[in-house]
Structure 1
Amino acid sequence: MKFLKASNEDGFTLIEMLIVLLIISVLILITIPNVTRHFESINEKGCSALVQMVQGQVEAYKIDFKTTPTIQDLVDNEYLNDDKTSCPNGDEIVIQSDGSVSVK
């Protein structure tokens, strides 16, 4: 009777799995700091774009009502939604007496 010997076993060895886990860990350690830096940049750009949009709504309100609005005036007259009165990072948007829009 002949015994068949498996010459080619399928699967990974423990060393191969550890090498793969090491490579994945290194990649994660490299990417996480880069991703957090990009979130800061995205928030800054989003806030800048929101300020420009509110400035446009202030100008439209001034044309319609011949007066400088407050943020609440813009919300009440549906020039802005309630969620557009502050930046994504939490900074409040304010309208100066001359109609210019800035971040507090």
Structure 2
Amino acid sequence: MTQEQLAQQLGFTRGQVSNYEQGSREPDFETLKKIADFFKVTTDYMLGRTDDPTPVDKLIELSALAGQQKFDPMKELPPEAQRSLEDFIDYLMRKYKKDH
């Protein structure tokens, strides 16, 4: 993407984009947010405060999805095997609870 294309997308001048890239000007907070939103990164990433560009809301969403997709090997077993495994777990819990 060229400076001109980025400027058009964000509603800036090419000169503004050039100044931000060269470090001769710093964007105000609203401009920084606009740029971060455009690139789908956090303002902390833009400011060099983190190496992770992923926005927090995206991390929360990914975490929730990961929680929903946990593999449960018990579900792969037939009901009789599930009951046997549950009984064995109960046995182990009782046995080691008494020892401690």
Which structure's residues are more often strand, by fraction?
A: 1
The normalised TM-score by structure 2 is 0.34
Q: Which of 1 and 2 has greater Rg?
A: 1
Which structure's residues are more often helix, by fraction?
A: 2
The normalised TM-score by structure 1 is 0.33
